[in-house]
Structure 1
């Protein structure tokens, strides 16, 4: 663990990591006493970590139930995609030719996603797919945007968890991520931007349909 971080920071990071990894799902309770035992931390430290997750829009306090992982709605989806368009399209349009390490990071995420698909671990497919998009935002070379987008990714993961059939939901995107990487690697920024634009439009449309259907049930 990073020694420069306080214990509350470290616990916040781990819990956010559990959300991004799909181990903490919308509606799950975060029980203070369990976390005190799990992290060998004081109640105040746990409260501070939970408070931060709340500020990041990842948890909420429910009366008589305590802190729960947040369920996101259609308005959240629209807002998340507004942010994605701003950051991911800007990252591509402002990018310089891909450096080898940047390309390698993207390929690692894509290969990890493909391996997860082969073993039908759809949750991991989603996590590695999101990592690919974090590397796209990484092209802006801004630690502030990276930190901000990590939080966006955690919220997106909570949105993905709402898909009733994660296999069907995750399956189509991998080939499109690979195509975006290939266009960037070839130096075709315009093509990569167009492909990303279409990707985000289609992804938002599919998620909006999912939420619309869910709200009718």
Structure 2
């Protein structure tokens, strides 16, 4: 059975049942991406801290969402977000979003990876959203090599890999993805990651 990497971008106070379902599904999860405000936010949010603690207690990786802006964000700003996720929410991993696919940025993201490990990150996920250059593979534990709608995904023949992950939205309940770590959700539009994956339907 595939493991689920779940980016769930809703506030715990507004969707307590959905967050409880994630905690209950702990054995099926690769990890949950914590994203209070397109990153850790400007100050600690007690509701996110509480649910992150419940996830960790259930044995779930908590990955702090950090935007790399395709290499345009200054290194110090990215690292500051990693540290806030660690200090405020006890995140034990990093979900680095908007990572480039081309080889020119590999050295920059190697340095970010080193900083993340030094800050205590046990799991490092790069979200490229498309197939990246092979030089990125040694830098992270998991590479997201597709993020997009089902209509696009089903037309592609993506390379297999046990360290690749596919994130698919606007997906039907019977969608079948081709990676061991994955997430297919029904939501679409500008905010698809406000819905739980089909695989967890019926757990609430």
More helix by share: 1
Q: So what's the TM-score if we normalise by structure 1?
A: 0.25
Q: Which has the larger radius of gyration?
A: 1
The structure whose RCO (Cα within 8 Å, separation 6+) is larger is 1
